[in-house]
Amino acid sequence: MYERIARRFITAAIIVLGLGASLAGAGPLSDRIESGKSIRIGFANEVPWAYPGEGGRPAGFVNAYVIGLLKHMGYEQVEPVVTDWGGLVPALMANRVDMVTGGLYILASRCRSIAFSEPIGRFGDAFIVAAGNPKGLATYADIRDRKAILATGAGYNTVEAARKEGVPDSQLMQVPGPTEILAAVRAGRADAGGGTWFTMLQLAEAAGGDVEVTNPAALPEWTLNYVGVGFRPADRDFLEKFNAAQREWLGSDEMLAAVAPYGYGPEQLPGDVTTEWACANR
């Protein structure tokens, strides 16, 4: 009889411990979804990556990608949260958003703070310069050697890249975002504006001929970057589900149709590069 009681006690203990382990493994996002709340996606005003569209609805190809993938996973309650670019990661870590869809490059410096999905795309950078490119600026070395001023967004990867290429902080003008980058170049306060090729192309198109875009191929290969969706490290349980669903979604006809209106095409697919590689090499 005592043996039966002991076995029942052990079995009950195992069940309780297993339940505790299961509960401990659920992150804040899983808890939020379980309670019926929406998934809060954080992004800035970065055309065509992610930005507030008509009526404040999430627009841009990263938002289209993520919302489509979440729907594929069975989640349709999504709440947009718009903030400045530099505030995206702090908002994530402060639990004001549940994932960052703003178009974050997977960089070693960011990998130390947040968890990334597997890459959703591969992209290069470029500059905008005054029409005719009077100073002949095409690379960070040009910026450095010609004592030019580079305007770029606070928190952009281009800040790190410029410093890596020897551009001193005295030649870096950090501004809130694309609108301010374009304004600085048009006003002559900066000789070039730096950011992703997609964003710089959008700015040039909006400038009516005042500025032009440099060739992204002129920049070193290591400036080619991979974009992921940002998560809190505590939400790795949900991140694993997201990555599993992404393996079916990425490159599918449905996915490419969702992002095509924003300029993302098959040539932007990330290939076989992993987040682990990007965190170690970017």
Q: Indicate if 118 and 233 belong to the same structural domain.
A: yes
Q: Indicate if 110 and 241 belong to the same structural domain.
A: yes
Share of the chain above pLDDT 70, in %: 91
The 10s digit of each residue's pLDDT in 241-266 is 999 999 999 999 999 999 999 999 99
Map residue 192 onto helix, strand or coil.
Answer: strand
- Please, are residues 29 and 235 in contact by the beta-carbon 8 Å criterion? yes
Count: domains in the chain = 2
Mean pLDDT within 50-76: 97
Mean pLDDT within 119-123: 96
Q: Is residue 23 part of a domain?
A: no
End position of a domain, from candidates 203, 223, 243:
223
Q: Is residue 250 part of a domain?
A: yes
Q: Is residue 254 part of a domain?
A: yes
Q: Is residue 145 part of a domain?
A: yes
- Please, are residues 178 and 127 in contact by the beta-carbon 8 Å criterion? no
- Please, are residues 60 and 48 in contact by the beta-carbon 8 Å criterion? yes
Taken as a whole, the chain contains a residue count of 282
Instruction: Name the pLDDT band for 25 (thresholds 50, 70, 90).
Output: confident
User: Which burial class, exposed, middle or buried, applies to 83 when counting CB atoms under 10 A from its CB (0-12, 13-18, 19+)?
Assistant: middle
Q: Indicate if 233 and 117 belong to the same structural domain.
A: yes
Map residue 115 onto helix, strand or coil.
Answer: strand
Instruction: Name the pLDDT band for 282 (thresholds 50, 70, 90).
Output: very high
Nearest Cα neighbor of 115 from 268, 237, 270 is 237
The 10s digit of each residue's pLDDT in 262-278 is 999 999 999 999 999 99
C-alpha to C-alpha distance for 50 and 63, rounded to whole angstroms? 6
Q: Is residue 8 part of a domain?
A: no
Q: Indicate if 137 and 100 belong to the same structural domain.
A: no
The 10s digit of each residue's pLDDT in 127-137 is 999 999 999 99
Q: Indicate if 137 and 209 belong to the same structural domain.
A: yes
Q: Indicate if 110 and 132 belong to the same structural domain.
A: no
C-alpha to C-alpha distance for 245 and 229, rounded to whole angstroms? 13
Q: Indicate if 164 and 152 belong to the same structural domain.
A: yes
Instruction: Name the pLDDT band for 26 (thresholds 50, 70, 90).
Output: confident
End position of a domain, from candidates 223, 248, 272:
223
Q: Is residue 6 part of a domain?
A: no
Which amino acid type is present at position 155? G
Q: Is residue 235 part of a domain?
A: yes
| DSSP assignment string, 32-47 | HHHTTPPEEEEE-SBT
**Two structure tokens written together for 129:** 């310069």
Q: Indicate if 100 and 168 belong to the same structural domain.
A: no
End position of a domain, from candidates 223, 242, 269:
223
Residue 79 CB neighbour total at 10 angstroms: 13
* Residue range of the domain that includes 74: 28-122+227-281
Q: Is residue 133 part of a domain?
A: yes
Q: Indicate if 238 and 197 belong to the same structural domain.
A: no
Q: Indicate if 50 and 137 belong to the same structural domain.
A: no
Q: Indicate if 67 and 199 belong to the same structural domain.
A: no
- Please, are residues 178 and 47 in contact by the beta-carbon 8 Å criterion? yes
274: left (phi over 0), alpha (psi -120 to 50) or beta: beta
Q: Indicate if 104 and 238 belong to the same structural domain.
A: yes
Residue 209 pLDDT greater than 70, yes or no = yes
The CATH number linked to 134 is: 3.40.190.10
C-alpha to C-alpha distance for 247 and 255, rounded to whole angstroms? 12
Q: What angle do CA 83, 86, 90 make, to 5 degrees?
A: 80
Mean pLDDT within 163-177: 97
Map residue 156 onto helix, strand or coil.
Answer: coil
Residue 12 pLDDT greater than 80, yes or no = no
User: Which burial class, exposed, middle or buried, applies to 73 when counting CB atoms under 10 A from its CB (0-12, 13-18, 19+)?
Assistant: middle
Share of the chain above pLDDT 90, in %: 90
